[in-house]
A and B are shown apart, each in its own frame.
Chain A
Amino acid sequence: MNEHEQIADDLALYALDALSGEDRSRVEGHLSECASCRQELEFLRGDAALLALSTAGPRPPQRARTRLLEAVAREPRVPRVIETRSRRSWWGVLGWAMAAAVVVFALSLWRENATLRATLASASARAAENARDMEELRKIAAPILEPSSQRVTLVSTKTPPQPQGKAFYLRNRASLVFLANNMPPLPPQKVYELWLIPTSGAPVPAGVFKPDAHGNASVVNPPLPASAEAKAFAITVENESGSATPTMPIVMMGAGE
């Protein structure tokens, strides 16, 4: 039996960290010289990961989330952004609509999470390749993100502020960003639900939202079927958990510009 075959069984155990002593050192020695076994080790770890992913369990308690985000906020340096899709520039891959979505998301978490500002700043820095897009984006983002910027809603002088919503929809990426202001508050068990009205077929649920104390709300990239062609968007009032079909009346509606 050659060394590879001898190592093969041990490699599986090594991947599970179940190998000790002489056997372990022998495997480590072999690995330092053998690229194909190193690759096989990666695959074995992946196989073992399948075991891990098969656990279903309770969700962690809410306090763990708070604890983590506080610990992260205390960390000294600004970390780089974690890419989960590709190695290319974050902004380049995501495209315009997603970039706008990031801006909106940042806006909605602004008060709660100062580290998001740092992440956004570092993401801006990394995307220097798309300088022109970035310049545009900075111009747009700056007044929205800067806490010192003045926020004004303009309304007709004769009537009280009207609820207003704007939907930005990129069909080929099934990517949707929705911003609303002057939304009247709702009782506790109710939410607003956004609908994509396709050119044919039933209205598609596109996210639920509740306005904040200022009447502002947003929906960012809800799950949507691919390539749904939107004739219009609409809003209804639904029970807290949302609904698969709209409950009349439609409280707001708009068609494409």
Chain B
Amino acid sequence: MAQLYDRYSSVVYAVALRVLGDTGAAEDVLQEVFLQLWRKPSAFDAARGSLASWLAVITRNRAIDTLRRRRPETDIEDVIVSVVPDLAAEAERSRASEKVRGVMGSMAPAQRGALEMAYWQGMSHSEIAEKTGEPLGTVKTRIRSGLIALRKAFQT
């Protein structure tokens, strides 16, 4: 566990901190995520993707749940993640990081905004529509094509 923690704690903490903006709360999420993994290591399926990506998804979901002030709803066993590139190593992660920032940078501001609101602030589609004044259908399409744009950037 110490080795896993040393390798992946910075990813988990960074995601939790970005969502919650509070180091204490981020630490709590960090604890919960690793403890959950310790208790149920079988929840992670190595054949499908990298542990880093899976941890990132779990962490973000937990952090969003905390942000919304609910009990964590996502049981880690429900979460299956398939990722095309192998992002196990630190070097690959930072290359991927650069790439993602590039894609986000070249996205239209409205699209980037919608994606960030949904992802980092845990806003629902209706909340986003209300905040931006855009129709629901537009918000949905924006978010989906945003995710596909990220996927495409890693497929070439």
* Interface, chain A (partner B; CB < 8 A): 8-13, 15-20, 23, 39, 42-61, 64-65, 67-69, 71-72, 75, 79-87, 109, 113, 115-116, 119
Residues of A within 8 A of B151 (CB): 43, 46-47, 50
Known: A59-B9, A59-B13, A60-B13. A45 touches B35 (CB 8 A): no
Which residue in A49, A64, A87 is a CB contact (below 8 Å) of B53?
A: A49
Contact with A along B54-77 (1 / 0, CB 8 A): 101101110010000000001000
Closest Cβ–Cβ distance, residue A169 to chain B (whole Å): 21
> Is the CB–CB distance between A87 and B141 below 8 Å?
no
Closest Cβ–Cβ distance, residue B40 to chain A (whole Å): 8
Extra inter-chain contacts (9) besides given A65-B9, A68-B30, CB under 8 Å: A16-B118, A50-B53, A52-B59, A55-B18, A57-B18, A65-B6, A82-B4, A113-B2, A116-B2
Residues of B within 8 A of A85 (CB): 46
Q: Complex: how many Å from CA A165 to CA B125?
A: 62
> Is the CB–CB distance between B41 and A80 below 8 Å?
yes
> Is the CB–CB distance between A19 and B125 below 8 Å?
yes
> Is the CB–CB distance between B147 and A83 below 8 Å?
no
> Is the CB–CB distance between B97 and A20 below 8 Å?
no
Give me 16 A-to-B residue pairs in the complex whose CB atoms sit less than 8 angstroms apart, sorted by A's number: A17-B61, A18-B143, A20-B125, A42-B80, A42-B82, A50-B151, A53-B56, A57-B13, A59-B13, A68-B34, A69-B5, A71-B31, A72-B1, A83-B46, A86-B46, A115-B1
Which residue in A9, A44, A50, A57 is a CB contact (below 8 Å) of B10?
A: A57
Q: Complex: how many Å from CA A18 to CA B141?
A: 13
Known: A49-B56, A54-B96. A68 touches B31 (CB 8 A): yes
Q: Complex: how many Å from CA A81 to CA B44?
A: 11
The number of residues on chain B lying at the interface, defined by a beta carbon within 8 Å of a beta carbon of chain A, is 77
> Is the CB–CB distance between B140 and A12 below 8 Å?
yes
Which residue in A51, A64, A71 is a CB contact (below 8 Å) of B119?
A: A51
* Interface, chain B (partner A; CB < 8 A): 1-2, 4-6, 9-15, 17-18, 23, 26-27, 30-31, 34-35, 37-39, 41-42, 44, 46-54, 56-57, 59-61, 64, 74, 79-84, 87-88, 93-94, 96-97, 100-101, 104, 115, 118-119, 122-126, 128, 137, 140-141, 143-144, 147-148, 150-151, 154
Residues of B within 8 A of A67 (CB): 27, 31
Q: Complex: how many Å from CA A181 to CA B54?
A: 41
Going nearest first, the 3 A-B pairs with the smallest beta carbon separation are A57-B14, A52-B56, A12-B144
Residues of B within 8 A of A69 (CB): 1-2, 5
Closest Cβ–Cβ distance, residue B109 to chain A (whole Å): 16
Quick one: closest A residue to B54, CB to CB? A49
Q: Complex: how many Å from CA A67 to CA B60?
A: 21
Known: A64-B30, A72-B1. A58 touches B35 (CB 8 A): no
